[in-house]
Structure 1
């Protein structure tokens, strides 16, 4: 095997094992096909474990990531986009402490955070951080670290007591420590990032 072919093979292999994940409780808008009982029509985002800001590495402000994980400049995963079916995938009580779960297939450590847009009409400025209260990973500064390679990760957050909505948005953002960083939870450098939005009801 020539050196050039070997390098191509190695690069392809690395691309296959890049970290992937999705929000499964509540079920993300881009993963709606995973629950056929919702009766959602196509198109579906079949590669839903790769809703990763177009694989553009993000700074700590997620500056070029779409609102719900799209590539820069796109809004297919956002409310009103092609993957928005208007389907509420979970119902909660106002002020409740809820458990949010995500499936990580090949984690590169890092951390994730949970946010809520408490209004019917989603936009880029409506999201408010919900501090992580407990997790099956280390909790640090209101976020949860990702410490294991392949797992279901969960976090408990508390919904605001005064918020009720027929449809609002819960957002999960996972910022990895890839490319590798000295701190495996918080990477100060641009890093691979995944983001999902789920449509929920709060009563």
Structure 2
């Protein structure tokens, strides 16, 4: 029993994380939107692209890989790496105000920054020097977005008015602010000063030259704070015309697929095992000592609100709402099939 608990906890540590870029999807997260496509290697630790961890980053002199890999390690998220397929995940127009979504499960305070480089060669790693030349502004004119809580950050960025590319690299850079350090200017100690834990994601996008949205009132930036999932919640928010849902079907053995027509299997665990049980059982690798499965309605999902008309939004909502997603009630709408 204890060995099984330790193994399951080890897996859970790989599925829990800190933060990732979901719109446009970072290189390590593309597989989540195309789980059926063998071109995209799954990275179950896509929320932990943090330079190998703070201690590793500091042992490398504070340096990090351009896309979040350890500076002294294999660059799996840079050109030539297994997650850098060169797949263009989003297409924009020059000067456009674009939507970005960051999923932050652990807040370390600090701030977000976004940079972009017209790389135009998926076989050549992007350089930080190129990215640093184009720091993107939010629609309020700032270049740094302060972090105060966990949740989904739906933000608006202004693309450069003169940049076009067949392949641009968009970099999300999150510098945390929960370590005590020394201010480089004043020499005084303070929280958030000095070296901090750092998260970096890269996404491959393209920008056409037809011109995008460059004027109008700044759209509202939002943060959707995550809330605990109510025990009775079994689906994402349903449309008014959707058929009402009956009470849960008979509990199944983990890995079983004996659901009635119109339903699919959902697996859960107690407490800390909840998230990882769902992942394990759908891959036929769960332990009945920790996970239980039941049947939930088959449904179709679409992105609404901040996710409306975004590439991959429907797939994202579908895969995140199978077990209920009250935290996405303003972003996803699901209907019974």
TM range (shorter): 0.7 to 0.9
Instruction: Supply the distance in 1 between the matched residues of 2:176 and 2:89 (Cα, whole angstroms).
Output: 26
Cα–Cα, structure 1 residues 179 and 41, in superposed 2: closer, same or farther, change >3 Å? same
Structure 2 residue aligned with 1:113: 113
Cα–Cα, structure 1 residues 180 and 98, in superposed 2: closer, same or farther, change >3 Å? same
Q: Is 2:190 aligned against 1:191?
A: no
Cα–Cα, structure 1 residues 40 and 196, in superposed 2: closer, same or farther, change >3 Å? farther
2:42 to 28, 39, 44: 44
* TM-score of the superposed pair, with normalisation by structure 1: 0.78
Cα–Cα, structure 1 residues 40 and 25, in superposed 2: closer, same or farther, change >3 Å? farther
- The alpha carbon displacement at 1:143 in A equals 0.4
Question: Which whole-Å deviations, capped at 9, do the CAs of 1:1-24 have from their partners, x for residues lacking one?
Answer: xxxxxxxxxxx9xx89x9600000
Instruction: Supply the distance in 2 between the matched residues of 1:87 and 1:38 (Cα, whole angstroms).
Output: 15
Cα–Cα, structure 1 residues 54 and 162, in superposed 2: closer, same or farther, change >3 Å? same
Mapping for residues 1-203 of structure 1, pairs under 5 Å:
20-36=18-34, 39-56=37-54, 63-74=62-73, 75-121=75-121, 122-127=126-131, 128-134=134-140, 141-148=142-149, 150-179=150-179, 187-203=192-208
Unaligned stretches of 5+ in structure 1?
1-11
What SS class does the counterpart of residue 49 from structure 1 fall into?
Answer: coil
Task: Detail structure 1 runs of 4+ shifted over 3 Å in the superposition.
Answer: 180-184
- The alpha carbon displacement at 1:80 in A equals 2.3
Q: Which structure has the larger Rg over C-alpha atoms?
A: 2
- The alpha carbon displacement at 1:47 in A equals 0.8
What SS class does the counterpart of residue 125 from structure 1 fall into?
Answer: helix
Question: Which whole-Å deviations, capped at 9, do the CAs of 1:46-103 have from their partners, x for residues lacking one?
Answer: 21001111012668xx941110000122321112222111111111111101121100
- The alpha carbon displacement at 1:44 in A equals 2.6
Instruction: Supply the distance in 2 between the matched residues of 1:38 and 1:89 (Cα, whole angstroms).
Output: 16
Cα–Cα, structure 1 residues 19 and 85, in superposed 2: closer, same or farther, change >3 Å? closer
Q: Paired residues, what number?
A: 179
Q: CA RMSD in A?
A: 2.7
